[in-house]
Amino acid sequence: MIAYAGRVKPLLAPIALLVLMTLLGVLSDRPEPRADFVFVNRAEISTLDPVQMSWLQDFRVAGLIFEGLTRYDTFSPGFNVVPGAAERWEVSSDGLTYTFHLRADAKWSNGEPVRPGDFVFAWRRVILPDGGGDYAKLFECIRGVREFRQWRSDKLRRFAADPSAGGSRDAAAALWQDTLDAFAREVGIQAPDERTLVVHLARPTPYFLDLTAFGALYPVHPPLLRAHESIDARTGLQRTNADWTKPDRLVVNGPFVLDRWRFKRDMHFARNPHYWDRASLNLDTIACLSIPDGNAQVLAFRTSAVDWTSDVMPSYRGEIFAAKQAFLSEHAPEVLRLESRGLDAVSIDRSLPADPRATVHAFPAFGTYFYNFNCRERLADGTPNPFADSRVRRAFTRTIDRAAICRNILRGGEKPAATFIPPGSIGGYRSPAGLLPDADTARAELVDAGFPNGRGFPEVQLLVNSEGDHSLIAQGVARDWERILGVRVRVVQKETRAFREDVKNGRFMVSRASWFGDYGDPTTFLDTNHTGDGNNDRGFSSREYDQLLDRAAAEPDAARRMETLARAEQLLVEEQAPFAPVYQYVQQYLFDPHRVSGITTHPRQSQDLARVDILGDGKGAETPAAMKR
C-alpha cells in the first residue's frame, strides 16, 4: 500500500478495521466465489424502474440488465449509437419518422421474445403523468405526447373531483380503458407487427437516436408489470407495486440478470443466457458493493476486494492525484511520445510500467455541481421565500469562491463553473460567460432586494447529503455568504434517501445538486429548467426561458438552433440564476489499467460496465479496449 502523504498513515488502522468489518459483513454469508468484476457504486441504488430513475448510480446498474433499441459505443469519439435490441432502422427524409426493426433473437431473460409492443408499453408508462417520472418530457418530441399527457392530467383531475366516480372501481377501470384507447389513437408510437416499431416525431429531433439508448427508454416486460399494477379507485391513477424489481421476479433483456440484491450491502449479477450478444461478453458475474465511506472504498480497492470504484472521495484524494502526477512526470518523455500517437489516457497508463500510483484516474466529465435555489414564492412551511427574487439568487451566486473550492477542498482537477453546460463539451455550441465572483455587485443586488447587509434576511438553510465532500464545500460556501452578504447560514446534513425526498418535494431553501448530461445536445441540461420538468427541483418557471426552448425545438437550422439555446442558457445563468454553478466535474476512478479494460475516457462518462474485461483471467477478448481515432 502507498502512503500518499504522511498524514494518511494514521488513518489506515481504523480504516482497515472498518473495511474488514464491512467486507466481512457482506461476504461472511456468501459462500460462492468472488465475482469476475467487482465495483463500488458511489451511492445506494434508489430504483430499477425506468419510470423512477433519475440518479447516475441507478442508470449505471440499469445498463447491466436492460437494453434499449440502441446502445452507446463508449469508445467512439462521437459516442455513437450502435444497434441494440433493434438490428437496424430507417429515418424518413423529413426526419419525422423512425422505423426500427427488432432482432429475431432479442429475448427476455425468461426466453420470451422482445417485441415492439414491449417498448410501446414501457414508453407509455414513462409518458403517463401517473408515475411522476422525471424524464416524461423527453418524449414530447414524439407526436401527440404533450397533448396526451395534458388530456390524461385533465381527466384525472375531473375524476378525483367527481363524487359519483371517486371510489368506483368500474369508473376507474373505464377511465383507464379510455386512456389506453387515447394513447393508441393520438400518440405516434406504433407496433405494426411483431418485429417493427414506428415512431412519428412532432418535430425533427437531431438527437432522437441518442435518446433510444438512454435508460428512460428501456423496455420492460409487460406481463410482469401487469401483475404488479392496479388502478386506484379513488384517484383513477395507475399504481405499480415496486416488488416487480426484486431479483426473484425481475425479467430483463440486457446482458446480465440480477440474482441478488441486499439493500445497503451488495448486488450480484450473472450473465443472461438469453441475451442476443452474450458471446461478446467478457464476464460471467459482476458484483456491486455498497461501501459509502470514501476511505473504506480506497482501502477496499488497495486490498483487491474491488476492481473499480465509481468515484474517489476520501479527504486525502488530493495527495492521491498528486502521486499520480508525480508518476507521470517520472515518465514524461514516454508520455509525450504516446500522446503524440493519439493514445487515450488509460492506454498511456497501460503502456507505462505497472505502479500503484497509476491506478487513480481523472477524466473530464459531462456534468456540473451546483446549488439549487428554491424559486417558489413560499417555502414548504408557508413562509415567504427570499430566493423567489432573482436579485437575491444572483447575489448569492456572485459570492461563491469556486476557485478556492477546487483548489483547497476538491484537489482532483475540477474546474470552476460559471455555466450549466460544461464549455466545449458539445460540438457547435458556444457557452455564455455566466456570473463571475463580484462581492460589490452581490451586496448591491441584496440591497436592491431589500436586505442591506443581510438585515431582515431569514436564516439560510443549506441542505446537503452527508456523503463525500458535500459538507466541506457547503461550509466554505456558507462562510462566503456570511462574510460578504451578512446573512446567517446553517448547513443541514441528511442521509441520502431523506435528502432526495426533501429536494424532490421542495422542502429546502438551498440544496446541493449535480447534473450529468444524458445525451449529446444542450437540451439534456437546459430542459431540466423548463416549467414543470420532472428534474426541475428548483420549482423555477420563466415564460421567456420556456419560449426560447420551444423556439429552439421548432428551429430547422442547426446553427440558429444552437444560438437560441445559448441565449436560453445565458438567461438562465446570468439573469434568472435559479441555481449557482460551482464546478465542472472530472470523473475520478480507481482501477488498475493493466488488469481492467473497458473503462472509457470519453467526456460523456457513461460506462458500459457489461463490456468490461478483466485482462489475464482467461475469459473474453483479453484485448485492451482503447478510444477509436
H helix or E strand, kind and range, residue 544: helix 543-554
Number of residues assigned to the chain: 629
The average pLDDT across 42-56 equals 88
Q: Give the residue with greater pLDDT, 542 vs 27.
A: 542
Distance in angstroms (rounded) separating the CA atoms of residues 69 and 52: 20
d(CA 585, CA 408): 15
What's the mean pLDDT in 285-312?
94
DSSP states of 185-254 as a string? HHSSEE--SSSEEEEEBSS--TTHHHHTTSGGG----HHHHHTTEEE-TTT--EEE-GGGGSTTT----S
Which residue from 73, 67, 72, 97 is spatially nearest to 85, judged by alpha carbons?
67
> Cell numbers of 510, please?
438551498
Please give the CATH number for the structural domain made up of 364-586. Answer: 3.10.105.10
Cα atoms in the 13 Å half-sphere on the side-chain side of 145: 25
Mean pLDDT, residues 609-623 = 95
Residue 8 clears pLDDT 50, i.e. is over it: no
Tell whether the model's pLDDT for residue 9 goes beyond 80.
no
Integer Cα distance of 510 and 477 in angstroms:
11
187/148 Cα distance (integer angstroms): 7
Which cell is 570 given? 445565458
- Nearest 10 degrees: CA dihedral of 536, 541, 546, 547? 180
How do residues 121-161 score in pLDDT, each as one tens digit?
999 999 999 988 889 989 999 999 999 999 999 999 999 99
CATH architecture of 9-46+254-353+595-614: 3-Layer(aba) Sandwich (3.40)
Q: What is the number of H-type helices and E-type strands within the chain? A: 19, 21
Q: What does the DSSP 8-state code read for residue 423? A: T
Q: Does the global pTM surpass 0.75? A: yes
Radius of gyration of the chain (CA): 25
The string of DSSP letters for 404-420 reads HIIIIII-SS-EE-SSS
Question: What Cα–Cα distance (Å) separates residue 280 from each residue in 255, 277, 419, 559, 613?
Answer: 10, 6, 40, 40, 10
Domain locations in the chain? 9-46+254-353+595-614, 67-245, 364-586
pLDDT tens figures, 161-215? 988 766 789 999 999 999 999 999 999 999 999 999 999 999 999 899 999 999 9
Which residues, 6+ apart, have CB-to-CB distance to 531 below 8 Å?
A: 540, 541, 542, 543, 546
pLDDT tens digit sequence for 380-433: 999 999 999 999 999 999 999 999 999 999 888 899 999 999 998 888 899 999
Question: Which strand (E) or helix (H) includes residue 333?
Answer: helix 332-340
In this prediction, residues 273-277 reach a mean pLDDT of 98
In whole angstroms, what is the distance from residue 420 CA to residue 574 CA? Answer: 11
Q: With a cut of 50, say whether residue 2 has pLDDT above it.
A: no
CB of 56 closer than 8 Å to CB of 365: no
Percent of the chain residues past pLDDT 70, beyond the cut: 95
Is 3.90.76.10 the CATH number for 67-245? Answer: yes
Q: Cell numbers 440502441 label which residue? A: 70
Provide, rounded to the nearest whole percent, the portion of the chain with pLDDT above 90. Answer: 80
Q: What is the pLDDT of residues 572-597, one digit of tens each?
A: 999 999 999 999 999 899 999 999 99
Q: Which residue has the cell 456540473?
A: 368
